[in-house]
Amino acid sequence: MRLNAQTDFSLRILMYLASKPGGTATIQEISTRLQLSQTHLMRVAAKLVSVGFVKSQRGRIGGIGLALPASEITVEAVIRAMEPDFRLVECFGPQEKGCTIERGCALKGALSNALAAFFAALHDVTLEQLTEPHRAALIALFDLNGPAFVPPVRSTSPTIRKKLADRLSQPDRRR
């Protein structure tokens, strides 16, 4: 069995948000820090919002954050919400055309037991359990102690980029 990329990205987004002080991030920030496609992450985040694991806020200070405490989000729940189906073999699906060996085959039962064991093992594993013991390592990997995330400037003008870089490097004189 293999989890799809959407499920993989979902778990990474959730771990990022659980590890981040303040817990809110933009898709652009997550994409940059995790080196994942922003387009894919937008789709995944939309689904995470629709199933209730993540909340979103629009606007200048917007972003996404956990909708539930990390202790209430289980890996099993995320996988069940994000995977389209768990038909490991054809006989798990609708029986439009019957399997020619079904009456004498024990494979369906064995795979059903394996799938149940897979979910049983993940039933009590929470996002908090995945992140808290490794929080320092995750913060370092996600570079959360580094400078605050600044989206890249999209201007084609080198003059504007230089002025912005100069302004950001100078101390704030209004204090």
Q: Is 21 domain-assigned?
A: yes
The confidence band for 175, taking pLDDT boundaries of 50, 70 and 90, is very low
Tokens of 13: 């987004």
Distances (CA, A) of 138 to 11, 21, 34: 13, 12, 11
Q: Is 142 domain-assigned?
A: yes
Q: Is 174 domain-assigned?
A: no
Q: How far apart are CA 130 and CA 126, in angstroms?
A: 7
Range of the structural domain that residue 97 is part of: 5-169
Residues 37-62 have pLDDT tens digits of 999 999 999 999 999 999 998 877 78
For residue 33, the domain's CATH number is 1.10.10.10
Q: Is 131 domain-assigned?
A: yes
Residues 94-124 have pLDDT tens digits of 665 667 777 778 887 888 898 899 999 999 9
Q: Is 175 domain-assigned?
A: no
- Lowest-confidence range among 1-5, 50-54, 65-69? 1-5
Query: Rounded to 5 degrees, what are φ and ψ at 95?
Result: -90, 60
- DSSP state at residue 74: B
Q: How far apart are CA 162 and CA 153, in angstroms?
A: 10
Q: Is 22 domain-assigned?
A: yes
Query: What's the domain count of the chain?
Result: 1
Judge if pTM exceeds 0.85: no
Q: How far apart are CA 112 and CA 3, in angstroms?
A: 17
Q: Is 36 domain-assigned?
A: yes
Nearest to 70 by CA among 132, 8, 121: 132
Measured in whole angstroms, the distance separating CA 160 from the mean position of its chain's CA atoms is: 35
